[in-house]
Amino acid sequence: INYRTLKPEMDGLFCEKIFGPSKDWECHCGKYKRVRHRGIVCERCGVEVTESRVRRHRMGYLKLAAPVTHVWYLKGIPSYLSILLDMPLRDVEQVVYFNSYVVLNPGNASNLSNRQLLSEDQWMEIEEQIYAEDSELEDIEVGIGAEAVERLLQEINLEEEADKLREEISNSKGQKRAKLIKRLRL
């Protein structure tokens, strides 16, 4: 929004090309005014000539350069991310806030397991072992931040997971059963 005129800037966050004109039946540059130009897209500014109330219904989205973890799914009670990933909330927070690395693929390393958390120092030691000349470690993948959480979520096969949870629910009792039911509902 322009600080003097308070009108939406072209190619800005509230751009009239995307959401529609801010004045009824008028394009941004003013070339087309009145109802008789209904539906015309101005060749100068690219704004469709229509009613301004279409701005209330049209949606836009921003394509971010990197994935972002939404705080409602992380910090909400219950934390949907931790339930879905079957990891404690504290561990998921450590990964999202770049405090710990998470193992995405342990490869052929015997001392690593899937979704295991690694501190910065532990990862540096493993990285040195990987890049050593006589190393036999292969296909180890470790991630950090929202990219790692996105990757973990992509690896989940929902139908297989639901079938597995239904089977576990029939064989369990008490608190474990309640936790599994909560996970299945999600």
Query: Domain residues of the chain, as ranges?
Result: 1-63, 71-155, 156-186
Rounded mean pLDDT of 59-78?
85
Q: What is the pLDDT of residues 140-162, one digit of tens each?
A: 888 999 999 999 888 888 788 78
The confidence score (pLDDT) of residue 110 equals 78
Average pLDDT over the chain reads 85
Edge to edge, the sheet with strand 117-118 lists 117-118, 101-105, 141-143
Asked whether residue 179 carries a pLDDT value surpassing 80, the answer given is: no
Distance CA(54)–CA(63), nearest Å, equals: 23
pTM of the complete model beyond 0.75: no
Asked whether residue 183 carries a pLDDT value surpassing 80, the answer given is: no
Q: Which are the contacts of 66, defined by CB distance < 8 A and separation ≥ 6?
A: 145, 146, 147
The confidence score (pLDDT) of residue 150 equals 92
Asked whether residue 176 carries a pLDDT value surpassing 80, the answer given is: no
Rounded mean pLDDT of 76-82?
83
pLDDT level of residue 101 (50, 70, 90 thresholds): very high
Higher model confidence: residue 174 or residue 96? Answer: 96
Distance CA(38)–CA(26), nearest Å, equals: 9
Specify the range with the lowest mean pLDDT, choosing from 63-77, 90-104, 163-177.
163-177
Report phi then psi at 2, rounded to 5: -70, 135
Buried-state track 48-80, b at ≥16 Cβ within 10 A, e below 16:
bbbeeeebeeeeeeeeeeeeebeeeebeeeebe
Q: What is the pLDDT of residues 109-139, one digit of tens each?
A: 778 888 888 888 988 888 888 887 777 777 8
Q: Residue 24 to residues 4, 37, 57, 164: CA-CA distances in angstroms?
A: 21, 11, 15, 56
Asked whether residue 20 carries a pLDDT value surpassing 80, the answer given is: yes
Cα angle 96, 91, 126 (rounded to 5 degrees) comes to 85
